Amino acid sequence: MLCSKPVQCRFVGSIMLSCLLLVGPSVSAFEVGFYNPKGINPAFASNVSFAMIEVIHEEQVLQALADARDADMSVTLNIGPVITESIPSKLLNLRYRDAQGTLRTKRFTPTPAHKIKRFLPDDRVLRIADRLTLAIKEYPDVIDTVFLIDEPYLKGVPPHEIDRVAELIRSRLKVRGIDQMKFGVVFASLTYDSHFAEMLDQQAAVYAAQADDRFDENQQKWSTRVLSLFGREPSWIEGFAQQRLVTYDQAGNLYTEGGLPKAIDVIGFNFYVSTLLLDDMYAKTPDWFAQTQSIEACDGFKAMEVADIREALSFFGGSSGGATDGDADRELLDQLFACRISAVGASLEAQMQEANIRYEVIMIGESSSNGLMRFTDDRGLADQQNMQRIEKRVLDEVQRYLRAQQILGIPELQKIAFFTFDPVHDYSIQQSIVGARDMPRVLKTIFQHQEHSGPSQ
């Protein structure tokens, strides 16, 4: 039954669009790989053309490069973790404007592990560039692209800083005899669109204001005053001070002026369904798309928040879901994918025209259970999970990345890197996430696409 829930009834007029979402076994001959931060897993090395990895330590990188060489595959190397650092807490902006436009000061000091970043001093960056030079020379033709930072604007890093560091490392490599390396950056969603970034910053402020209001309410309670006599705070305040979403510290610290760096060659981006469904910074995104983008796939989301979408999905709120629920879920998620990916394509094209640069583009797709498990009303994991249904939802999402018509609208798309192959544990939300490795149908679909399409020319 298509209209089992009110929100889904709004998309009956878009059935034909959903039917056109998947248009065959492949929409393009883009390369397929895995974004597997730790390295190359032999189980996928011979079945995809590239892997995207992060620098965790030097031995790990050298082993990954050796494995890639042996498997005749390329590597995109993210050196961001070793050329950036968290900004000292005392330098972070602690002020933000709430929904009423009132300038407020945060009640909680930044956590030591906050994610607002800056690049290391030049001398330290150059030392890392020298180590990178040695790796490139030892494994020629293996490293395809060097990514400098992941999600820079969410971390408060502006484009002129990215350009400065790109030129710094490029110059160092050229002195060392390497002048053909490509440099890139991975963006979160449409954060290079200033209006979209401002909307995210406003939502981060909403989250901060809710926490600060709760803090103020607690301070008025007699129990709080009693605890203060013993140097204690209420348990909620103590817990929030030590462990919370990074969104609180991000409020007022995002880079919101938009634009793309000009000294790089490759633009990467991610826009995971899990981010959209679970991160409150994106709460207003569906309506924002409907109100600001001239995209047919977004029209049905007018006046809708992400909470409305969660309410319409059978795997939120504890329902185990039946066959018809699964069909309705898929139709709604088809529409959500078509909307957000079409918006990315249009925005990227506009940004490239403004910068007068045709960047190579890598899209990072979702191939894990993150956001597609069964959740309770408060977005906690439900006690009972049906792995077969989870895998089917992940398979549907992977097929959207490989077959959706909207992929054709991504300018200069060369590669899709699926995150992730190996299972991971997200300590920030205390969830273990299943990767493609443990979902046979998902893995088969990714491998078959690469086998049938081959590397792009």
H or E element in which residue 341 lies = helix 323-355
**Residues in CB range of 28: below 8 A, 6 or more apart:** 407, 408, 413, 453, 456
DSSP alpha helices (H): ranges in 72-121? 80-83
**430, two tokens:** 């205390």
d(CA 410, CA 317): 34
| pLDDT value, residue 15 | 45
Phi, psi of 181 (to 5 degrees): -75, 140
Q: What percent of the chain has pLDDT over 90?
A: 77
Per-residue pLDDT, averaged over 355-363, amounts to 97
How many Cβ atoms from other residues are within 10 Å of residue 182's Cβ? 16
259-288 mean pLDDT: 96
Give me the pLDDT at residue 430, please: 65
CA 34 to chain centre: 14
Q: How far lies 163's CA from each of 109, 190, 355, 434, in Å? A: 31, 19, 13, 36
Phi, psi angles (nearest 5°) of residue 364: -100, 115
Is the distance from CB of 173 to CB of 130 less than 8 angstroms?
no
Of 70, 49, 51, the closest CA to residue 453 belongs to 49
- State residue 87's pLDDT score: 95
Q: Report pLDDT for 317.
A: 83
| CB neighbour burial string for 329-359, b if at least 16 within 10 angstroms, e if fewer | bbbbbbbbbbbbbbbbbbbbeebbeebeeeb
pLDDT tens digits, one per residue of 416-441: 999 999 998 766 556 789 999 999 99
Question: E strands, 294-447, where?
Answer: 360-366, 413-419, 424-426, 431-433
pTM for the complete prediction?
Answer: 0.90
Pick the CATH number of 6-453 from 3.40.50, 3.30.70, 3.40.1550, 3.20.20: 3.20.20
CA distances from 100 to 96, 107, 209, 255 (A): 11, 18, 11, 21
Mean pLDDT of the 182-190 span? 98
Residues 52 and 76 sit within 8 Å (Cβ to Cβ): yes
CA atoms within 13 A on the CB side of 388: 4
Task: Report angle CA 261, 263, 269 to the nearest 5 degrees.
Answer: 45
Per-residue CA distances from 342 to 26, 345, 374 (Å) = 17, 5, 27
Higher pLDDT, 225 or 302: 302
Q: What is the tens place of the pLDDT at every residue in 199-219?
A: 999 999 999 999 999 888 887
Burial 380-411 (b: 16+ CB within 10 A, else e): eebeeeeeebbbbbbbbbbbbbbbbbbbebbb
Helix residue ranges, H only, 148-282: 159-175, 194-219, 222-229, 235-242, 247-250, 273-278
Residue 252 CA to residue 263 CA, distance in Å, equals: 27
Q: Please indicate whether residue 196 or residue 425 has the higher confidence score (pLDDT).
A: 196
